[in-house]
Amino acid sequence: MRGDLLITGAAPLGGDPTDVLVRDGWIASVGRIVATDRPAGVDVLDAEGLVLLPGLVDLHTHLREPGREDAETIASGAAAAAAGGFTAVLAMANTCPVTDSGEAAERILDLGRSARLVDVVPIGAVTKGLEGEQLAELGLMARSRARVRVFSDDGRCVQDARVMRRALEYLKPFDAVISQHAQDANLAGPRACCHEGELSGRLGLPGWPAVAESTIIARDALLAEHVGGRVHVAHVSTAEGVDVLRWAKARGIRITAEVTPHHLALGTELLVGYDPTFKVNPPLRPSEDQEALRAGLADGTIDAVATDHAPHARHDKEHAFVDAAFGMLGLETALSVVAEVMVQPGRLDWAGVADRMSTAPARIAGLPGHGRAIAAGEPANLVLVDPRARRTVDASASRSLSRNNPWHGRTFAAAVHATILRGSVTHR
Amino acid sequence: MTRHLLSSADLDREQTEAILDTAASMHDVQRREVKKLPTLRGRTIINFFFEDSTRTRSSFEIAGKWMSADTINLSAKGSSTSKGESLRDTVMTVNAMAVDALVIRHSASGACQQVAGWVDASVINAGDGTHEHPTQALLDAYTLRSRLGPLDGRHVVIVGDLTHSRVFRSNVITLRTLGARVTVVAPPTLMPSGVAAWSASDGFATSWDLDDTLYAGDPPDAVMMLRVQRERMSGGFFPTAREYTVGYGMTRSRLERLLAANPDAAILHPGPMNRGLEISADAADSANSLVLDQVSAGLAVRMSVLYHLLASDGSQAAA
C-alpha cells in the first residue's frame, strides 16, 4: 500500500505539468522523469490533464461517532472525506458523549487512525457538555495525545460573553482557536430555521435574521482583541458577517473565518418546497449573501472553505420542516462545488483553491503536516483533481451512511480523481 | 381541478369561482330536511389533525358525511422534536389504508405540502402552522360575495397578528385572485418578514395605522379582524392587551365611525374571538358582523372542495 509512487503529468496548483515522485510517504522529487529513468517497482499514477493540490483539510465535519453510528461512523466519514480529496478533517465535538475531555479526544484520534483514510483530528468542546456555562477541560485536551487546538460548541454558540472571554483568554498559551457558530440564540429565537426575509414571511417559517450572526461576530472579534486571543468564525453565511470580518481584520484582530460550499452555491429559495434536505444552520441565504461570500472568499476576508458535513439518519429528516434535523452532507462534493462557483468564473485559481481548502485551514487548525507546498521533502498529502470530469451526484452512491445530500442530481464539471495520504492512495 | 389543495395559490380565478359557485348549491342542501348527497359514496376521507381544532374539524367531518363519504377523525400530537415517530412514518401508516383524501391540520408550516409529496391520496390543507388555511379563505370569500356581490374592486382590510396568521396568508391570495383590493394592518412587530417586497409583488397595501386605513378616503367594504394570542405579549410583540386594543382593536367607537362612513361595511373574524381584545362585543354582535355566516359558509365551501377534488371528472354538482 505504501510503496513508491510516481505521479506523471500532473499540474501542481494548475501550473506546468510535471512528475512527482513519492517515497516513504514524502515527496522525493518534483520534475520530469524520463520513462527510462523511472525507479524500478514504482507504481505509476498517470495524471495527464489533472491538477495536483495539497490534500484538502476540512475545519468542520460531524462524524457522529460516538453516539449516532447509524448516521455516520468515523470510518464511513473518513471514506467520504478521502473520496472528497481530504487528507485531514476536524471532527466536531457535539457527539454523544461530547468531546470535552482528553480521553474523549484521544478516542476520536484513535478511531480515526484505525480507519487509515484521513487524519481525523478532534475538536474539543469549549464548555462542558456544550452547556455554555463551565469551561471544558481545555488544557487537558490540548495536552492530550490528540493535541487539540480547535475548540467549539458548534451548533450551540457560546452565548455568555464572559464565558467566551475566559475561554479565549485561557487558550492563549496553546495558541488554540475557538471556532464559533455565530448565532445570538435569543435574537434568532428557538425555532429559527429559514433566512429571515420575504420568503420566511411567505412560507410562515420562523426567521433566522442575518443580524443574529453579524452581532456575535462583532462581539467575538472585540473579545478576541481585548484578551489577545484567537477566534474563528464557523460557516459565515451573511454579507453583514463578511463586512464585520473585513473590519476586524483591518483592525488587526486575530480572527479567521470559513464558508461552506452550500452557503456559496445554494440559495434560500430552495426552501419553497419545505424539503428538510435543505434545512441547515445557519440557513441558506439569498443570492446577495452568496455573492458577498464568494467575494469574501476570493479576496481572503474568508480564509477557508469548510464543509459542515452533517449526516443525519433518514428518520431525523422526515419530519415537518421546523421539526427536522439541521444539516447536509458535504465532504464528497466540496471540491466540485468550489470549482464551479470559484474556479470556473475566474474568482480563484487552483493555487487559490489550495490555499482556501488546504493551506489556510491547516494553519488555522495548527496541523503542521498538512497544507504544505508540493515540493521535495514535504509530506505526500495530495489530491489529484480532474478539472474536466463531468460527474452527476448520486446520493445513493455516497460513502457516507446518510443520504441528506442537497447536491443529488447536480452535474459538476470538476471532480476528485485520487487522494493520497502520506504516500498511500486513499481514494481513486 | 388540482389533486391537492395545499395553498390558495393552487387555485386560479376560474377554479376559485367554480368552488364558490358549487358551494352556493351546497348551501341550499344545508337547508333541506334530508341533507345527504350521494356524491362521495364509497370514498374515505381521513381528517388527520396534529393540532387541536373544533370548528374546522367538525366542519370537514359534517361536510364529508353530508356528501356520503366515510369520514374518520384521527388526532396525533405533532412531534416537536426529531425524536419519536417521523411525520412520514405517521402519515404512511394511514396512506397504507388506501384512503381517498387526507384533510390535514398541523402546527408546522409546510407539513401538508410535505405529506402531499409522499402519499397517493388527495391532501387538503386544513391549516398548516403559520403558513396557509385555504378553505378558510374560500369561506371568507364566499361570505363576502354573498354579502357584497362580486369582489372586483372591493376594499378588504385585514387587521391583526399577520406574522403568525395562516388566515391572512391564504386570504390575501384568494381575495387578490377575485379582484379585491386588500390592505393589511398590524404593528411593525406583527408584520411578516419582508412584507414590503411581498406586498409590492403581490399587489396589496400595508399600514401600521388602523384609523388611517379605515377613515382616510378609501372606506373599506369589509374589515377582517384576526385573532391575537395573548401569549404574543410574552414574546414582546406588543406591550399590553390594552395598548393593542387602542391601536388595533375593532372597538365600539371605531365601529361607529366606520359605519358612519359606510353603513354596509362587513365585519369578519375567523374565530375563536378574543372579545374585548381585537374585537368588541358591539362589533362581534352587530348586524354588520358576518361571523356566524362564516361558520355556516364553512360547511358549504368544504363540501364543494371535497366535491371538486374527489368527485370523478365530468360529473355535475348533485345539488
- pTM for the full model? 0.95
Q: Which of A365, A390, A418 is the last residue of a domain?
A: A365
CA nearest to A203 within chain B: B131
Chain A positions in Cβ-Cβ contact with residue B4 (cut-off 8 Å): none
Question: Within an 8 Å CB–CB cutoff, is residue B128 touching chain A?
Answer: yes
A315 and A404 share one domain = no
Question: Within an 8 Å CB–CB cutoff, is residue B130 touching chain A?
Answer: yes
A150 and A29 share one domain = no
In tens, the pLDDT along A208-218 reads 999 999 999 99
Asked if the structure places residue B1 within a domain, the reply is no
Asked if the structure places residue A371 within a domain, the reply is no
Domain count, chain A: 2
Q: How far does the CA of residue A209 sit from the closest CA of chain B (Å)?
A: 10
Q: Give the CATH number for residue A23.
A: 2.30.40.10
B318 pLDDT more than 70: no
Which of A308, A316, A355, A386 is catalytic? The answer is A308
Question: Within an 8 Å CB–CB cutoff, is residue A204 touching chain B?
Answer: yes
DSSP calls for A275-327: -GGG--SSPPB-HHHHHHHHHHHHHTSS-EE---B----HHHHSS-GGGSPP-
CA nearest to B116 within chain A: A273
Complex prediction ipTM: 0.93
B83 pLDDT more than 60: no
Domain that holds residue B85: 8-132+298-310
Question: Within an 8 Å CB–CB cutoff, is residue B262 touching chain A?
Answer: no
Give CB contacts under 8 A, 24+ apart, made by B286-291: B286/B255, B288/B255, B288/B259, B288/B264, B290/B143, B290/B144, B290/B147, B290/B266, B291/B267
A401 and A273 share one domain = no
A47 and A58 share one domain = no
A305 pLDDT more than 90: yes
B171 and B249 share one domain = yes
Q: Which of A338, A365, A392 is the last residue of a domain?
A: A365
A95 and A213 share one domain = yes
B123 and B147 share one domain = no
A155 and A71 share one domain = yes
In tens, the pLDDT along A108-144 reads 999 999 999 999 999 999 999 999 999 999 999 999 9
Contact: B79, A316; criterion CB under 8 Å? no
Contact: B89, A316; criterion CB under 8 Å? no
Interface test with B, best of A194, A277, A318 (most B CBs within 10 A): A318
B89 and B226 share one domain = no
Interface test with A, best of B109, B128, B198 (most A CBs within 10 A): B109
**Residues above pLDDT 90, as percent of chain A:** 97
Specify the range with the lowest mean pLDDT, choosing from A338-352, B159-173, B222-236, B268-282.
B222-236
Domain count, chain B: 2
A67 and A131 share one domain = yes
B142 and B113 share one domain = no
A324 and A297 share one domain = yes
A111 and A72 share one domain = yes
Mean pLDDT computed over A32-40: 89
B261 and B144 share one domain = yes
B96 and B144 share one domain = no
Interface test with B, best of A323, A326, A402 (most B CBs within 10 A): A323
A331 and A421 share one domain = no
Asked if the structure places residue B176 within a domain, the reply is yes
Q: What is the pLDDT of residue B315?
A: 44
Chain B positions in Cβ-Cβ contact with residue A204 (cut-off 8 Å): 109-110, 128-132, 166, 169, 192
Mean pLDDT computed over B16-24: 97
Q: What is the pLDDT of residue A143?
A: 98
Q: How far does the CA of residue A189 sit from the closest CA of chain B (Å)?
A: 10
Q: Give the CATH number for residue A303.
A: 3.20.20.140
Q: What is the pLDDT of residue B317?
A: 42
Mean pLDDT computed over A18-39: 94
B109 and B184 share one domain = no
Answer for the pair A183, A157: CB distance below 8 angstroms, yes or no: yes
B35 and B141 share one domain = no
Asked if the structure places residue A234 within a domain, the reply is yes
Query: Is A308 one of the catalytic residues?
Result: yes
Mean pLDDT computed over A378-398: 97
Asked if the structure places residue A210 within a domain, the reply is yes
Asked if the structure places residue A373 within a domain, the reply is no
Question: Within an 8 Å CB–CB cutoff, is residue A201 touching chain B?
Answer: yes
Mean pLDDT of chain A, nearest integer: 97
Asked if the structure places residue B316 within a domain, the reply is no
Q: Which of A342, A365, A388 is the last residue of a domain?
A: A365
Q: How far does the CA of residue B257 sit from the closest CA of chain A (Å)?
A: 32
Asked if the structure places residue B51 within a domain, the reply is yes
Asked if the structure places residue B2 within a domain, the reply is no
A412 and A332 share one domain = no
Answer for the pair A208, A193: CB distance below 8 angstroms, yes or no: yes
Asked if the structure places residue B214 within a domain, the reply is yes
Domain that holds residue A292: 54-365
Q: How many CB contacts within 8 angstroms connect chain A with chain B?
A: 92
Cis before A387? omega within 30: no
Give the pairing of strands B155-159 and A231-233: unpaired
Asked if the structure places residue B285 within a domain, the reply is yes
B94 and B188 share one domain = no
Question: Within an 8 Å CB–CB cutoff, is residue B51 touching chain A?
Answer: no
Distance from chain centroid for Cα A311? 14
A271 and A335 share one domain = yes
Chain A positions in Cβ-Cβ contact with residue B78 (cut-off 8 Å): 320, 323
B91 and B158 share one domain = no
> What secondary structure, in 3-state letters, does B34-56 show?
CCCCCCCCCCEEEEEECCCCCHH
Question: Within an 8 Å CB–CB cutoff, is residue B192 touching chain A?
Answer: yes
Q: Give the CATH number for residue B14.
A: 3.40.50.1370
B145 and B271 share one domain = yes
